[in-house]
Amino acid sequence: MALTPVADRLTAIDDEHLTRLGFRADDRHDALLTIRRALDEPTVLARVQYIADQLLEQLGIFDRPKDPFAVPEGFDDLDPAVLDKEWGVGVLPLLALVATADDVAGFHAGRGIDPEVSRRSLSDLGQQAWVHRRTFSGFGLHTYPWMRICWSGALYWLGRLQFNLTRYHGDWVVSTHIPESGPLTPEACAESFGWARTFFAEHFPDYPTTVFHCGSWLLDPQLTEVLAPESNMVRFQQLWELDDEQRVGDPDALFFVFRRRGEVDLETLPQDTSLQRAIVAKIRAGGHWQLREGTFGQDRFAG
C-alpha cells in the first residue's frame, strides 16, 4: 500500500514537526535544507518514496520483518557510495522515516497508546541523528537499520529505558535497550520495567510475554572487575540471568563509550574515567569485551 506521495509529505515538514521527532537545532536546520534539496531531485525522491512505502508495509509486523531500507538492484542508477558522499550516510532513509512518522503515530493511536508515549518513542529518530553528529561531526543517520524496530511499531520509550517486542529462542519477549538519557539508577530502571510490564500487557495482549530480555556489552561480567559493586552499571547487569553464548563486543564498547566507529586509534581516546581506561587497556592487551544476552521474569517488577 503506497502512502501519500513523499513529495507532499516532505513539503509539509517544518521545524515544529522535527522538534517533535527529537531533532536538535543543528539537525533540524540541516534536515530542512536537505528536504528542500531532495524536492528538486526526482530520482532521489523516487528512492525515498520506495523506502517509505516499504516502511509502511512493515508497520505492525514484528515477526521476521523484511529490511525496508533494501532497495532492489536496478531500481535506479544511483550509486549508494555516491549517495552517502553527496547526501550523507543514511540521509535518504532519514527522509523516508520523517515522511512516515505520522503513520507510526497512527498505529500507536490504534493500539490505544498515550500520545506522549508515542511522541517520546518517535523522538528516537532525532536522538539517533544527534548520535550520528557526535560520531561523525555532521548530519546523517548511520544507525538507520535500528530505526526499523521503532517504525514497525514494536519499540517504546518508557521512562529511562526503551523496550520492544521481539522473538528470543522462539518465544515473544520484551527486549530492553538503554538510550543515552541520564543515569541508569536502579530506581529509574525499576520504574521502567514496571511500566513496560503493564504497557505491553495492555496494548499488545495478542503478543503475550513473561520475560524481559537484553543483549548488550553492558552485560559483560568482566565489567564487574573494573567498576564498583554499587555502580549503576553493575547493579543493572546483576538483574540478568545470562546465556552461555559470548560474542566479541569491542566495537560496541568503543562506540557507546567513545562514540567511535570503524578503525579506532586507541591512542586518541580520552582516558578520563576508570571505565574509559579499562575499555582501552583490555583491547590494547589483546583481550576482548563481550556481547552477552540475558533474561529475567517480568514478575520481578510490579506494575
CATH number at residue 287: 3.40.630.120
From 103, 125, 152, the end of a domain falls on: 152
Read off the pLDDT of each residue in 124-149 and give the average, rounded to a whole number. 95
131 and 260 fall within a common domain: no
Distance (Å, whole) CA 129 – CA 106:
23
pLDDT for 67: 92
pLDDT category at 238 given cuts 50, 70, 90 is very high
More reliable by pLDDT, 130 or 80: 130
Domain coverage including residue 245? 216-292
Q: Tell me, yes or no, whether 164 lies in a domain.
A: no
* Amino acid in position 223: L
- pLDDT one-digit tens code per residue, 31-80: 999 999 999 999 999 999 999 999 999 999 998 778 999 998 888 888 88
* Residue 303: per-residue pLDDT: 52
Q: How far is CA 199 from CA 110, 118, 154, 213, 232, in A?
A: 14, 12, 12, 16, 24
What is the per-residue pLDDT across 264-295, written as a single tens digit (0 to 9) for each? 888 888 888 888 998 999 999 898 999 999 99
Q: What's the pLDDT at 3? A: 62
Residue-wise pLDDT tens digits, 93-105: 999 999 999 999 9
Q: What's the mean pLDDT in 176-187?
A: 93
So what's the pLDDT on residue 77?
86
Question: Does residue 128 lie within any of the structural domains?
Answer: yes
Asked, for residue 171, whether it belongs to a domain, the answer is: no
Can you give the pLDDT at residue 264? 82
State which of 152, 169, 186 marks the end of a domain: 152
Contact 150, 161 (CB under 8 A): no
Of 128, 134, 30, 127, nearest to 88 by C-alpha is 30
Comparing 286 with 3, the larger pLDDT belongs to 286
Based on the structure, what is the number of domains in the chain?
A: 2
Residue at a domain's end among 152, 168, 198: 152
- The amino acid at residue 81 is A
52 is a domain residue: yes
Residue 239 shares a structural domain with residue 146: no
- Same domain for 97 and 18: yes
Asked whether residue 33 is assigned to any structural domain, the reply reads: yes
Using CA atoms of 39, 153, 246, 235 in order, give the dihedral in degrees to the nearest 10: 110
Task: Report how far apart the first and last C-alpha atoms of the chain are (Å, whole number).
Answer: 38
pLDDT of residue 288: 92
Q: In the prediction, which pLDDT does 1 show?
A: 46
- Domain assignment present for 208: no
Is 249 a domain residue?
yes
pTM for the structure as a whole = 0.92
Q: What's the CA gap between 250 and 210, in Å, rounded?
A: 31
- Taking the C-alpha atoms of residue 108 and residue 119, their distance in angstroms, rounded to an integer, is 10
Query: Please, which pLDDT band fits residue 147 given cuts at 50, 70 and 90?
Result: very high
Cell of 234: 553493575
205 domain-assigned: no
